[in-house]
Amino acid sequence: MKIKNICCIGAGYVGGPTMAVIAKQCPNIKVTVVDINQARIDAWNSDDFNKLPIFEPGLAEIVKEARGKNLFFSTNIDKTIDEADMIFISVNTPTKTYGKGKGMAADLKYIELCARQIAKASKQNKIVVEKSTLPVRTASAIKSILDNTGNGVQFQILSNPEFLAEGTAVQDLLDPDRILIGGGSSEKDQKAVDALADIYANWVPKDKILTTNVWSSELSKLTANAFLAQRVSSINAMSEICEKTGADVREVSKAIGMDSRIGSKFLNASVGFGGSCFQKDILNLVYIAKSYGLNEVADYWEQVILMNEHQKNRFSDNMVSTLYNTVSGKKITFLGWAFKKDTNDTRESAAIKVADNLLNEQAKISVYDPKVSEERIYTDLDYLNTRSSDENKSLLTINKDPYDACKDSHAITILTEWDEFKSYDWKSIYKNMQKPAFVFDGRGLLNKKELEEIGFVYYNIGTGN
Ligand code: UDX
Ligand code: ADP
């Protein structure tokens, strides 16, 4: 079976880049990304390629190349579903904010709405691919909705989790470590698996395309994210011991990373991991474990989240105690708001929690981030509901120029590892700050020796001072 027409439901951080790359690599397949959010679709269709809703290095170039040829963005969901042979579900699966499983389980209402819409709009057989990260066994719920509410057409359900990381999405999609496809064992299911594998085979070596049963595929995605987050919490736990003992966490990371069994990646101590996946997926895993009565398993994974919360809180606590136990009325500059560099995404960013803690201490915060919008920053803070929107606006200001953001500040804190921060004129920043001038580097980004020579009091996460 050759796929000629793909529909992707959800034009977000996963759907958008993934489909742009499929369209680029498969010029003979028509790819249409649909979303209920008109503003998001308009932004994807914008003539100004700087205004795409998602910033990812290399993405604008790919959209420019493929859009209007075989890549389309639309809000005409039913028609696009009906015309497609293969439908990717790439909608959001946030943590539930109500009812049973509140604060832990994945909220599957968007997935269910999507399944119902596919069932209603489909007049021919379709392959439905789960791209969103989902609890294990969601495919059976989707199949049940499709089979019971559809127009009598046949659906094959596949799981094809996406492992791209934000900031490197295009590179990850063009050269993935592996492609995982989970499918059933019937002949029809296997044909569907082959059809999806053939799409990827246009640019991914065959030995990197792994096929498993559906449940293994769903669970592998949660497992990968849990292991990655666990590594960050593990090194962050060591960063606190380093600070107390005079060891340097970067030296420890290097030393352990050279053990080929451990490996060198994902060992950067930081102010805490963020992003839309790690916390959500671990909470989901914890919920699944609890629902099977596996309490020890649940507690084990929950600790990864607790450690991450602790890291964010101890970072802001350390700022307050170093700044003579009071930040009230003091200007503190945040360099970075995104959860990591090279993305405009701020979901679960450590900066939000650190800001909230410091605002509780009546600090005056000034933020500069090269890619995050002013509106996004205030929305992130208001969402916490700690204080009124007016109070947030009066206590926190946003600067378009980093040097203005740093002027007259008592302390600068690095919350995102944007490369440009390294090349700033730190001498001139120092000159225009209150003295003593502090830098709290939550990413280990800057050069301690250089900053100390200029006169800064420099605090680096994971280094005894
Ligand atoms: C993650 C997974 O890497 C990806 O495979 C999955 O598809 C989605 O979730 P993402 O959240 O985009 O991707 O970014 P990632 O690079 O994993 O970073 C997550 C967070 O961990 C960031 O806040 C990052 O700054 C932090 N991190 C990462 C560290 O603090 N230290 C590290 O060594 C690595
Ligand atoms: P992710 O990071 O997983 O891509 P996002 O929140 O960035 O998540 O994107 C999910 C997208 O899915 C949003 O743009 C949202 O509007 C869209 N969406 C959610 N439900 C539906 C639906 N039933 N039909 C179409 N689009 C949907």
Q: How far is the CA of 35 from the centre of ligand 2 (A)?
A: 7
Give the tokens for residue 451. Answer: 């900053």
Q: How far is the CA of 273 from the centre of ligand 1 (A)?
A: 7
Q: Which of 270, 341, 369 to mutate to test the pocket of ligand 1 (most atoms within 8 A of CB)?
A: 270
Residues 71 and 19 in one domain: yes
Cα–Cα distance measured from residue 298 to residue 390, given in angstroms and rounded to the nearest whole number? 40
Atom of ligand 1 nearest to the CA of 340: 25
Strand partners, 128: 87, 157
Q: How far is the CA of 93 from the centre of ligand 1 (A)?
A: 18
Q: Are 331 and 404 in contact (CB under 8 A)?
A: no
Q: Which residues line ligand 1 (CB under 6 A)?
A: 162-166, 225, 228, 232, 266-268, 270, 273-275, 277-278, 339-340
pLDDT for 465 equals: 59
Residues 204 and 255 in one domain: no
**pTM for this entry:** 0.95
- Which band of pLDDT confidence, cut at 50, 70 and 90, is reported for residue 1? confident
306-352: per-residue pLDDT in tens? 999 999 999 999 999 999 999 999 999 999 999 999 999 999 999 99
Q: How far is the CA of 34 from the centre of ligand 2 (A)?
A: 9
5 backbone dihedrals φ, ψ, rounded to 5°: -140, 115
Q: Are 298 and 289 in contact (CB under 8 A)?
A: yes
Residues 343 and 292 in one domain: yes
Residues 359 and 252 in one domain: yes
> 44-56 as b/e, with b when 16 or more CB fall inside 10 Å?
beeeeeeebbbbb
**DSSP three-state, residue 97:** coil
250 backbone dihedrals φ, ψ, rounded to 5°: -70, -35
Q: Which residue, by CA, sits nearest to atom 8 of ligand 2?
A: 92
Q: Measuring CA to CA, how many Å separate 122 from each of 31, 113, 176, 430?
A: 17, 14, 31, 63
Domain termination site, one of 212, 238, 268? 212
Q: What is the mean pLDDT of the chain?
A: 96
Residues 126 and 226 in one domain: no
Q: Does an H or E element contain 89, and which? A: strand 86-89
Q: Which residue, by CA, sits nearest to atom 7 of ligand 2?
A: 12
Residues 189 and 274 in one domain: no
Domain hosting 337: range is: 214-465
Residues 121 and 228 in one domain: no
Domain termination site, one of 212, 234, 261? 212
Active site residues: 277
Which CATH number characterizes residue 204's domain?
Answer: 3.40.50.720
Residues 71 and 193 in one domain: yes
Atom of ligand 1 nearest to the CA of 274: 23
39-98: per-residue pLDDT in tens? 999 999 999 999 999 999 999 999 999 999 999 999 999 999 999 999 999 999 999 999
Domain termination site, one of 152, 181, 212? 212
Residues 422 and 281 in one domain: yes
Residue 451's contacts (CB-CB under 8 Å, 6 or more residues apart) are 426, 439, 458
112-126: per-residue pLDDT in tens? 999 999 999 999 999
Give the tokens for residue 228. Answer: 């990655």
Domain count, the chain: 2
248-283: per-residue pLDDT in tens? 999 999 999 999 999 999 999 999 999 999 999 999
Atom of ligand 1 nearest to the CA of 236: 30
Residues 164 and 282 in one domain: no
355-386: per-residue pLDDT in tens? 999 999 999 999 999 999 999 999 999 999 99
Atom of ligand 1 nearest to the CA of 268: 33
Residues 168 and 275 in one domain: no
Position 49, amino acid: F
224-257: per-residue pLDDT in tens? 999 999 999 999 999 999 999 999 999 999 999 9
Give residue 95's Cα distance to chain centre.
14
Q: Which of 91, 93, 132, 134 to mutate to test the pocket of ligand 2 (most atoms within 8 A of CB)?
A: 91
Q: Is 244 exposed, middle or buried (0-12, 13-18, 19+ CB in 10 A)?
A: exposed
Cα–Cα distance measured from residue 18 to residue 393, given in angstroms and rounded to the nearest whole number? 36
Per-position DSSP letters for 271-309, written without gaps between them = S---SSSHHHHHHHHHHHHHHTT-HHHHHHHHHHHHHHH
**DSSP three-state, residue 159:** strand
- Which band of pLDDT confidence, cut at 50, 70 and 90, is reported for residue 133? confident
Tell me which residue of 41, 66, 38 sits closest to 51, measured CA to CA. 41
Residues 199 and 224 in one domain: no
Q: What value does the mean pLDDT take over residues 26-31? A: 98
